[in-house]
Amino acid sequence: MATAAPTQFPQTTSNVQPSKVTSVKTLTESADLKTIPSNYAYTPTDPNEADVLEEEVSIPIIDFSLLTSAIPEQRFKAIQDLDKACQDWGFFMVVNHGVPESLLKGIINASTEFFNLPEEEKKEFAGKNISDPIRCGSTLSTSNGKKFLWRDFVKLVVQPDQFQAPHKPLGFSEVALEYCNSGRRIVRELLKAISESLGLDNDYVAKTLNLDSSVQVFSANLYPPCPQPELAVGLPPHSDHGLFTLLIQNDVPGLQVKHNGKWVTINPFPNSFLVNAADQLEIFSNGKYKSIIHRAILNNKATRVSIAMINGPSFETSVAPASKLVDSENHPAAYRPMNYKEYVEQQPLQWKSLLDQVRIEV
Ligand SMILES: O=C(O)CCC(=O)C(=O)O
Ligand SMILES: [Fe+2]
């Protein structure tokens, strides 16, 4: 299967009018597309976007059962592994997490069924404002010269006690709730371990960042096959705004993460969560852990489905480097505090990292 890193492109020639279609899926199904409409052409912003590492690399693996082990030595070793993974990669795979494989497959299937609903039925869930708890559609990306991304999404902003999801297709809402609850449990454990790896009490992150009312954003992504995969993009390079993002995908590759200046393709690995450190963790750890830049590229054969779950603090929290990690002489704060809600509101269509705005230059 051809997967392609975006490069600089010639003009595209398709005469399909994207303004008349509501989703990429419809676009690909409504015409025998040989070329992409020009409104989907992607112009890379990063000079080394074509710099893809050809060799297979192994990414760090965190054994969740050891992280939650009652045997102190096992837990200690797993926390060290997590610390190293967050410093070296900002990205790792979680295995032995205890979430049934049937639930992971179930949420991928239910999301695919959602995308398969007739466009008329999905309109009900389109949302009017960026802050609506349920939204679906495709994205006009401002960071890409007002071009569309080759991706359809359905996004649920899941706050505590406020779970809302589309009532179609049958069973979607139930499986999404169960999936979100499982994800929340995993992230809570990871953040306990992160508290310890930062040398803090194990409930320090939970208390300081008000995790009892933590924000979760469930985002299912559909990337239909693209006739010119090198000319469009699923998601341009970006970092996520929360603390940790959990990602699962179907068996079609497309996720790439930036590691040591090169793009590395992460192949799907069954029954595991891919986890990346995100902006609020970089800020809170005062830069010890880096929020990883990643992107979704396309192929011309198979539909890719991924589910990203962004897990942040509560919206009301002002996130700053943990005070116990900062001293004005040796470890000055490297980031300005910012309210998490404000941070999220400033990010929406940029597909860029806001970190540069809060970073304090020394
Ligand atoms: O589809 C993917 O692999 C990446 C998704 C992602 O980065 C996101 O939704 O923020
Ligand atoms: Fe992301």
Ligand 1 centre from 181 Cα, in Å? 20
Residue 18 has pLDDT above 50, yes or no: no
Q: What is the ipTM of this complex?
A: 0.99
Share of the chain above pLDDT 90, in %: 75
Rounded distance, CA 22 to CA 123, Å? 9
Ligand 1 centre from 301 Cα, in Å? 19
pLDDT category at 142 given cuts 50, 70, 90 is: low
246's CB contacts (< 8 A; 6+ apart) are 94, 183, 186, 187, 273, 274, 275, 308, 309, 311
- On average, the pLDDT of the chain sits at 90
Ligand 1 centre from 10 Cα, in Å? 26
Mean pLDDT of 327-351: 85
Q: Which domains does the chain have, with CATH numbers?
A: 57-358 (2.60.120.330)
206 half-sphere exposure, CB direction, 13 A CA radius? 14
Instruction: State the ligand closest to the CA atom of 233.
Output: 1
Strands (DSSP E) found in the chain: 3-4, 61-63, 91-95, 134-141, 147-158, 216-223, 235-238, 244-249, 255-259, 262-265, 273-277, 294-296, 298-299, 304-311, 318-319, 338-339
Do 337 and 318 form a contact (C-beta atoms < 8 A)?
Answer: yes
**Residues lining ligand 1, CB < 6 A?**
219, 221, 235, 240, 247, 249, 254-255, 294, 296, 306, 308
Task: Tell me which residue has its CA closest to atom 6 in ligand 1.
Answer: 308
Task: Tell me which residue has its CA closest to atom 9 in ligand 1.
Answer: 308
Residue 186 has pLDDT above 80, yes or no: yes
Atom of ligand 1 nearest to the CA of 308: 9
Rounded distance, CA 110 to CA 107, Å? 5
Residue 8 has pLDDT above 50, yes or no: no
Ligand 1 centre from 324 Cα, in Å? 32
Residue 294 has pLDDT above 60, yes or no: yes
Kindly report, residue by residue over 224-254, the tens digit of the pLDDT: 999 999 999 999 999 999 999 999 999 999 9
Mean pLDDT of 7-36: 64
